[in-house]
Amino acid sequence: MAPPCGGILKAAMALSGAQTAGEMGPSSRGGSGSSAGKNPGARPVEKTFYIETFGCQMNAHDSEKVIGTLEHQGYRQVQSEMEANLILYNTCSIRDKAEQKVFHRLNDFKKYYAAGKRFAVLGCVAQQEGERIFERAPYVSIVSGSASYRKLPEMLRRLEAGERHITGLDDRQTEETFETEFTRRSNPHRGYITIIEGCDKFCAYCVVPYTRGKERSRTGSSVVGEARRMAASGYTEVQLLGQNVNSYRDPEGKLSFAELLGAIGELDGIRRVRFTTSHPRDFTRDIVEVIDRVETLCDHVHLPVQSGSSRMLQAMQREYTMESYLERIAWIKSARRPISITTDIIVGFPGETETDFGQTLDLLQRVQYDAVFAFKYSPRPNTPALAMPDSIDDEEKSRRLQRLLEKQREIQRTNYANHIGQVMEVAVEGFNTQRGQVIGRSSQNKTVNFSARQAIFPAPGSYLPVQITNSFPNSLVGEAVQ
Ligand code: SF4
């Protein structure tokens, strides 16, 4: 599947205030104040950083952990690259031309090197391109894939000691996960927890197994412990993350994925638990059963299908057929709770005929998804699909994508309209002050814009019953119920 996404995001994650940029190097070693002993008159150079994050929720959460790690090493986050003396790019390579975009962006910052700024390229493009990044952009100091983030403190120490090129490029050998108690979450109510890193599936089109390493699960006790600490500090919603959460294996052998979901859902203070992404081959019936049993588990399963044609699924090396996928859909639809189903689809995979594509359209009709994240196939480096002739031209891919999105839009128009008249619990996320509306999200992960019959907007993180009065293909409209 595409990495857990719900849409690609570009998040410039910078929280705190401005700070003078300073030279990275021996003078700044040891954090703020460390050089005072050497020169009592000198003002210590503060270590500041700016980070930009591209890609999926896994990357967004990795950046939260990287930020916490940097802060623990004495760095302070600033709002722009101009103010920072260390600039980090957490990159994504899931889409076409990602590498070129990264090099193009790095080129913008070449001029800052002489001023003492240093650069780190993190994430999937870093792992994929490796030391070639130093060849094309010699002013980059750190190149690190996500499987090496646990070594960040050591890499930072080497950077501060003046080392020019530092690599963290663990391939599929590592067994370790990146766990830190210093995660700096950007939202005070909803937070991610990674439960499994890497992927062993090797779908024909996907770079993830090569960039994120092999599957490594965290222990159930460490995941539950982190969720408990989050609940104690005010978090009410957690989202469990992994490239394939369904292949979670507790290294202590205590909890299956479904049991882990149940254990977190039963923690005091937790009101909502989500998880992403699932793989149809590993999706088991007990996941539906635990959603039925534990009220805090959300009414939503994202089950990426990629194609409605078993022939295409085989070419994609997805390890399931349409029949077995539909069996899982039947489990979900037979739940007592109204579980919303969403999916990912690739159009124009090499060899996809009009008949194969027609089967994908038929699947939309059959499942009645609440959302579809659809993309045109684009060849990615190092993947088996790269050797397959990319036989469908871009115009035809665009036409298929358009047809698919139009069909899905009509399905969603009906699905969303079916909620009119219902009262649902909505978690408040923000406000649209111009429209005087509160923006929130339902358990099914649907956006709900509603008016609150009170002078003051309800606080983000609160939960309100909302009566649905209108709908669009991607959102609901309602009024808070007293
Ligand atoms: S290889 Fe792994 S991450 Fe990539 S699509 Fe397949 S299951 Fe998902």
Q: Is 247 in the pocket of ligand 1 (CB under 6 A)?
A: no
- In angstroms, what is the span from residue 161 Cα to ligand 1's centroid? 38
Q: pLDDT value at position 22?
A: 30
8 A C-beta contact, residue 407 and residue 359: no
Q: How far is 265 from 270, CA to CA, in rounded Å? A: 6
Give residue-wise pLDDT tens across range 50-99. Answer: 999 998 999 999 999 999 999 999 999 999 989 999 999 999 988 777 78
Q: pLDDT value at position 204?
A: 97
| Among protein residues, the one whose CA lies closest to atom 6 of ligand 1 | 203
Q: Is 150 in the pocket of ligand 1 (CB under 6 A)?
A: no
Whether residue 154 is predicted with pLDDT greater than 70 in this model: the reply is yes
Whether residue 18 is predicted with pLDDT greater than 60 in this model: the reply is no
Helix (H, G, I), strand (E, B) or coil at 95: coil
Q: pLDDT value at position 1?
A: 44
Q: What's the pLDDT band for 5 if we cut at 50, 70, 90?
A: very low
Place of tokens 């663990």: 170
Q: What is the DSSP string of 405-429?
A: HHHHHHHHHHHHHTTTT-EEEEEEE
Q: Is 328 in the pocket of ligand 1 (CB under 6 A)?
A: no
Domains of the chain: 9-168 (3.40.50.12160), 190-415 (3.80.30.20), 423-480 (2.40.50.140)
Question: CA-based angle 72:75:79, to the nearest 5?
Answer: 125
Between the alpha carbon of residue 245 and those of residues 87, 260, 326, the distances in Å are 31, 11, 19
Whether residue 161 is predicted with pLDDT greater than 50 in this model: the reply is yes
- In angstroms, what is the span from residue 208 Cα to ligand 1's centroid? 6
| Among protein residues, the one whose CA lies closest to atom 8 of ligand 1 | 1
Q: Which of 5-14, 276-285, 462-471 has the lowest mean pLDDT?
A: 5-14
For residue 212, the ligand 1 atom closest to its alpha carbon is: 3
- In angstroms, what is the span from residue 32 Cα to ligand 1's centroid? 42
Q: How far is 119 from 48, CA to CA, in rounded Å? A: 12
Q: What's the pLDDT band for 110 if we cut at 50, 70, 90?
A: confident
In 10 A of CB 111, how many CB atoms? 10
Helix (H, G, I), strand (E, B) or coil at 59: helix
Whether residue 180 is predicted with pLDDT greater than 90 in this model: the reply is no
Question: How close are the terminal C-alpha atoms of the chain, in Å?
Answer: 42
Q: What's the pLDDT band for 478 if we cut at 50, 70, 90?
A: very high
Give residue-wise pLDDT tens across range 227-246. Answer: 999 999 999 999 999 999 99
- In angstroms, what is the span from residue 311 Cα to ligand 1's centroid? 18
Single-letter amino acid, residue 45 = V
Give residue-wise pLDDT tens across range 300-356. Answer: 999 999 999 999 999 999 999 999 999 999 999 999 999 999 999 999 999 999 999
Burial code (b: 16+ CB inside 10 Å, e: under 16) for 60-98 equals bbbbbbbbbbbbebbbbbbbebebbbbbbbbbbbbeeeb
Q: pLDDT value at position 36?
A: 33
Q: Is 200 in the pocket of ligand 1 (CB under 6 A)?
A: no
Q: Would you call 192 exposed, middle or buried from its count of C-beta atoms within 10 A (0-12, 13-18, 19+)?
A: buried
Q: Is 304 in the pocket of ligand 1 (CB under 6 A)?
A: no
**Rounded mean pLDDT of 127-138?**
93
Q: H or E stretch including 435?
A: none
Total length of the chain: 482
Single-letter amino acid, residue 191 = G
- In angstroms, what is the span from residue 2 Cα to ligand 1's centroid? 6
Q: pLDDT value at position 190?
A: 96
Q: What's the pLDDT band for 165 if we cut at 50, 70, 90?
A: very high
Q: Is 243 in the pocket of ligand 1 (CB under 6 A)?
A: yes
Q: How does the average pLDDT of the chain come out, rounded?
A: 89
Between the alpha carbon of residue 168 and those of residues 14, 144, 178, 420, 447, the distances in Å are 24, 4, 13, 52, 39
Q: pLDDT value at position 20?
A: 27
Give residue-wise pLDDT tens across range 287-305. Answer: 999 999 999 999 999 999 9
Q: pLDDT value at position 274?
A: 98
Pocket perturbation via mutation, ligand 1, pick of 196, 203, 382 by most ligand atoms within 8 A of CB: 203
Q: How far is 47 from 35, CA to CA, in rounded Å? A: 12
Q: Which two tokens stand for residue 174?
A: 């590592």
Q: Which two tokens stand for residue 215?
A: 């599957």
Q: How far is 6 from 345, CA to CA, in rounded Å? A: 12
Q: pLDDT value at position 185?
A: 94
C-alpha Rg value of the chain to the nearest Å: 23
Q: pLDDT value at position 78?
A: 97
Give residue-wise pLDDT tens across range 442-455. Answer: 999 999 999 987 76
In 10 A of CB 49, how many CB atoms? 26
Q: pLDDT value at position 9?
A: 31
Q: pLDDT value at position 172?
A: 81
Phi, psi for 13 (deg, rounded to 5): -100, 95
Q: pLDDT value at position 44?
A: 61
379 Cβ partners below 8 Å, 6+ apart?
96, 205, 385, 386, 390
Is the torsion defined by CA of 129, 132, 138, 144 positive or negative? Answer: positive
Q: Is 279 in the pocket of ligand 1 (CB under 6 A)?
A: yes
Helix (H, G, I), strand (E, B) or coil at 445: coil
8 A C-beta contact, residue 277 and residue 312: no
Q: pLDDT value at position 261?
A: 98
